[in-house]
Amino acid sequence: MPYYIYEAKDQERGCPRCRAGFGVDQPLAATPLSKCPDCGAAVFRVVQAPALGRSKTDLHYRAKRAGFHTLKRTGKGEYEKLY
């Protein structure tokens, strides 16, 4: 289920929760919130980049940093250490 962040439209009104921003788990079909559930102040949904998971490149970088290495086959029974 997607996690959406909401903030107060007017930073001078509302409770500390909606002024600082709060997150809500909502289904895709749900309509966006227009009011803070605590104080009723007007809020808007903040546009965020999606969390897409880690790439294979990141995994190799973390393994290298941890001291592991990768071998590449160069011939029959011959391997070259990449890192």
Supply 18's token pair: 């909606």
pLDDT at 45: 92
Contact 6, 33 (CB under 8 A): yes
pLDDT in tens, 19-72: 888 999 999 899 999 999 889 899 999 888 776 665 656 666 777 778 777 788
- Quickly count: other Cβ atoms within 10 Å of residue 29's Cβ: 5
- Give the containing element (helix H, strand E) for 35: none
pLDDT at 54: 59
Q: Is the pLDDT of residue 83 over 70?
A: no
pLDDT at 53: 66
pLDDT at 11: 83
